[in-house]
Amino acid sequence: MPRSDEILVAKCQKGDKQAFELLIKKYQRRIFHLIYRITQDPAVVESLAQDVFLKAYRSISSFRGSSRFYTWLYRIAVNTSLSYIKKESVGENREKRVDYDLHASNLAVDSMRVEDPEELLMRKEFLRHLVGSLRRLPEDLRTAVVLREFTGLNYEEIAEVMEVPLGTVRSRIFRARSRLREMLEPYVHES
Amino acid sequence: MNCTEYGPSVSRYVDEDLEGKELETFLDHLSECAECQREVGGLERLRGWLRAADSFQGVPDIKGDWGLADLLRREESSEAMDGAEPFLPTTDRGASEERKKSSRSAGWIKRFLFPSPFPAQNLMRYALPLLVVGVVATWFYTRKTGNWIDVHQLQPLPVATAALPEEEGHEMDFFVMQHSTHQPWGNHGDELPMIEFASGSSR
C-alpha cells in the first residue's frame, strides 16, 4: 500500500474526517471511471461513487491493511456497480445508455480533426462496434477486462478486487479478449 | 506443442504476468512460432483499440466536488443508498436542476425518435418495419380480393366436350362445344365460362 494511503487510513481509523476527505479527492476520478466502464451508465456514476465512499467510510475501521487500500476501495466500487446492474436488470435501458455513450464518443471522434469524412465515418463505426462488443460481454469478463485495460491493475490486484483466485482472473481476461476479437473480426476484415 | 495451449500464455505475456520458467518456455516457443507471434500482435492491437475507446469515451461530465460532510448529510436524508440521487453541493443544485430539466425533455424526444447518431441508421430503423408492414398488408389484401393469383397453384379442370345431336330446323347440322372451366375465380362466384366453338359439318 502506498505510504500516503497507509497514513491517511490510519488517521481515518482514529476518527480524522479530513484524512478521509483527502482519500476522496485522490480516488474520486478513478472510482468514477471504474463505475462508468462497468455500468456504462453516465447518469448513475456520481450517485454510485457517493455510495462507494460512504460505504468505505462506514467500514474503514474494519480495514486491516492486508490488501492495498485502493484494491479494497475498487472492490467496493465493483460490488456496488454489479449490484446496481443486477438491480436494474438492465436490458432495454442499456441500449439507451449506449446511445448516450456513443453520442459522447462521436463528439470525441469529431474533435480528432480527421480530414477525410470517410475515415471519420469508419472510426465512428468501429468505435460503436467496439463499445457494443464490450457491453455484450458477460459481467464477470467485462469487469476483469475493465480492471486490466482501463484501470491498469495487475492480475493479483484484480484477484483481490474481484475476490477470485488468480487463475480465474487469467482465464477471464483471456476469454474476454478472445470474445472481443471474435466480435470485432468482421470489422477488421472489412477494414 | 500445440499452439492452442499457449493461448492463455499469450494473454499473460502481453500483460507481463509470466515469470521464471514459464516465461522462458514461452519465449522459446514464441521465437519459433509465427502463429503465436501473430497472436501477440493481435492482442496488442486489441489493447490499443480499447485504450483508444477509453480516451474517446472519457468520463461523464460530473461535478465531483462533494466531500465527506455532503455524503453524511445525504445519508441522513435518505436511508436507501443504491440508486439515490447524487448529492450536489448547495451552490450547484439550482443550476443542475435547470440543466437536468431542459436536457431531459429535448434529449428524450430526440433519443426516442432518432436513437442513432447516424442518419442512415435512423432511416433504416423506420424503413424496414414499413417495408414489412407493406408486404404483409399486400398479402392480406390480395388474399381477400383474389386479385393476385399464383398461377402455379391452379388446377386445370377437365374440358367438357359435348356433341349436340342433329335436330330438325337447325341451321347448323353439327357442332362441338368446348366448355372450358379453367378459371381460377370459379369459387368466388364470378364464373365466366369460356366457350369455344369448333364446328364442322357431318355432311
How confident is the model over B147-160, as a mean pLDDT? 62
Residue A177 confidence (pLDDT) above 60: yes
- Residues from chain B contacting residue A46 (CB–CB below 8 Å): 62-64, 86
**3-state secondary structure at position B196:** strand
Say if A127 is an interface residue toward chain B (CB within 8 Å): yes
Which A residues, 86 through 105, put their C-beta within 8 Å of a C-beta on chain B? 87-88, 95-96, 99-105
Segment A63-75, tens digit of pLDDT: 888 888 999 999 9
CATH class of this structure's domain A1-89:
mainly alpha
**Residue of B50, B61, B88 to mutate, interface with A, max A Cβ within 10 Å:** B50
User: B145 or B182: whose pLDDT is higher?
Assistant: B145
Separation CA A118–CA A137 (nearest Å): 29
| Cα–Cα distances in angstroms (integers) from residue A181 to residues A121, A174, B18, in the given order | 21, 11, 22
Find how far residue B17's CA is from the centre of its chain: 42
Cβ of B13: how many Cβ atoms within 10 Å? 20
Q: Does CATH place domain A137-191 in 1.20.950.20?
A: no
pLDDT per residue as tens digits for the range A118-166: 777 777 778 778 888 888 899 899 999 999 998 889 999 999 999 999 9
Q: Nearest residue of A to residue B61 by CA position? A: A42
Q: State the smallest CA–CA distance between residue A42 and chain B in angstroms.
A: 6
Within 10 angstroms of residue B144's Cβ, the number of other Cβ atoms is 8
Alpha-carbon gap: A146 to the closest alpha carbon of chain B (Å): 9
State whether residue A113 sits within 8 Å of chain B by CB.
Answer: no
**What is the arrangement of strands in the sheet containing B194-199, beginning at the earlier edge strand?**
B160-163, B175-180, B194-199
User: Taking Cα atoms as reference points, which of A9, A29, A27, A28 lies closest to residue A19?
Assistant: A9
pTM here is 0.60
> What residues in B contact A177, CB-CB < 8 Å?
11, 43, 46
**ipTM for the whole predicted complex goes beyond 0.90:** no
- Contact of A161 with A153, CB cutoff 8 Å: yes
Residue whose C-alpha is closest to residue B66's, from B40, B85, B44: B85
The 10s digit of each residue's pLDDT in B41-78 is 888 888 888 888 777 767 776 666 788 888 888 777 76
With an 8 Å Cβ cutoff, are A95 and B11 in contact? no
Q: B58 or A35: whose pLDDT is higher?
A: A35
With an 8 Å Cβ cutoff, are B82 and A106 in contact? no
**Torsions phi, psi for B194 (to 5 deg):** -100, 120
**pLDDT the model gives residue A135:** 84
Give CA–CA dist A80/A68, Å, rounded: 19
Domain assignments of chain A as residue spans, ordered by start: 1-89, 91-129, 137-191
- Residues of B in Cβ contact (< 8 Å) with A88: 83
> B176 with B161: CB under 8 angstroms?
yes
Q: Quick check: A27 contacting B, CB < 8 Å? A: no
Instruction: Tell me the backbone φ, ψ of residue A85, rounded to 5 degrees.
Output: -60, -45
Selected residue with higher pLDDT from B97 and A18: A18
For position A31, what pLDDT does the model report? 92
Positive or negative torsion for Cα A88, A174, B42, A155: positive
Q: Which of A24, A36, A174 sits opposite B11 (nearest CB)?
A: A174
Give A-chain residues touching B68 at CB under 8 angstroms: 17, 20-21, 24, 53, 57
Residues 6+ positions from B153 with CB-CB distance below 8 Å? none
Give me the phi and psi of A36, to 5 degrees please: -65, -40
Q: Are B182 and B156 in contact (CB under 8 A)?
A: yes
Mean pLDDT of chain A: 82
What is the rounded CA–CA span in Å between residue B200 and residue B203? 9
